[in-house]
Amino acid sequence: MATFLARSALRAVSQTPRLAFPKATTSPVALKSWAQQPVSCRFLASSTKPSEQPRLRLGSEAPNFQAKTTHGEIDFHQWLGGSWAILFSHPADFTPVCTTELGAFARLAPEFERRGVKMIGLSANDLSSHKRWIADINELSSTNLQFPIIADADRRVAFLYDMVDAQDLSNIDEKGIAFTIRSVFVIDPQKKIRLTMMYPASTGRNTTEVLRVIDSLQTGDNMGVTTPVDWQLEDDVIVPPSVSTEDAKKKFGTVREVKPYLRYTKI
Q: Which stretch binds ligand BEZ (CB under 6 A): 22-30, 89-97, 141-149, 223-231?
A: 89-97
Judged by CB under 6 A, the residue of 134, 157, 186, 201 near ligand BEZ is 201
Residue 4 CB, nearest distance to ligand BEZ (Å)? 32
Could you give the string, one character per residue 167-196, with x where binding to ligand BEZ holds by CB under 6 A and - elsewhere?
------------x-----------------
98 is catalytic: yes
The Cα 43–Cα 17 span in angstroms is 13
Residue 128 CB, nearest distance to ligand BEZ (Å)? 19
- Of the pair 90, 263, the CB lying nearest ligand BEZ is at 90
Judged by CB under 6 A, the residue of 39, 80, 85, 98 near ligand BEZ is 98
In the sheet that holds 72-75, the strands lie side by side as 72-75, 66-69, 149-151, 117-123, 84-90, 182-187, 193-199
Site for ligand BEZ in 1-60 (CB under 6 A): none
Judged by CB under 6 A, the residue of 51, 95, 129, 207 near ligand BEZ is 95
- Does 96 contact ligand BEZ by CB under 6 A? yes
Computed from CA positions of residues 89, 92, 98, 102, in that sequence, does the dihedral angle turn out positive or negative?
positive
- Of the pair 201, 225, the CB lying nearest ligand BEZ is at 201
Residue 17 has what DSSP assignment? P
Q: Which of 98, 157, 201, 243 is catalytic?
A: 98
Neighbouring residues of 208: CB distance < 8 A, sequence distance ≥ 6? none
Residue 94 CB, nearest distance to ligand BEZ (Å)? 9
The Cα 145–Cα 215 span in angstroms is 23
Residue 97 CB, nearest distance to ligand BEZ (Å)? 3
Sequential DSSP letters for 76-110: HHHHHTTSEEEEEEES-TT-HHHHHHHHHHHHTHH
Phi-psi region of 234 (alpha: psi -120 to 50; beta: other; left: phi over 0): left
Residue 165 · residue 183 · CB < 8 Å:
no
- Of the pair 168, 236, the CB lying nearest ligand BEZ is at 168
Neighbouring residues of 121: CB distance < 8 A, sequence distance ≥ 6? 87, 88, 89, 90, 102, 105, 147, 148, 149, 150
Catalytic residue ranges: 98
Binding site for ligand BEZ (CB under 6 A): 91-92, 95-98, 179, 201
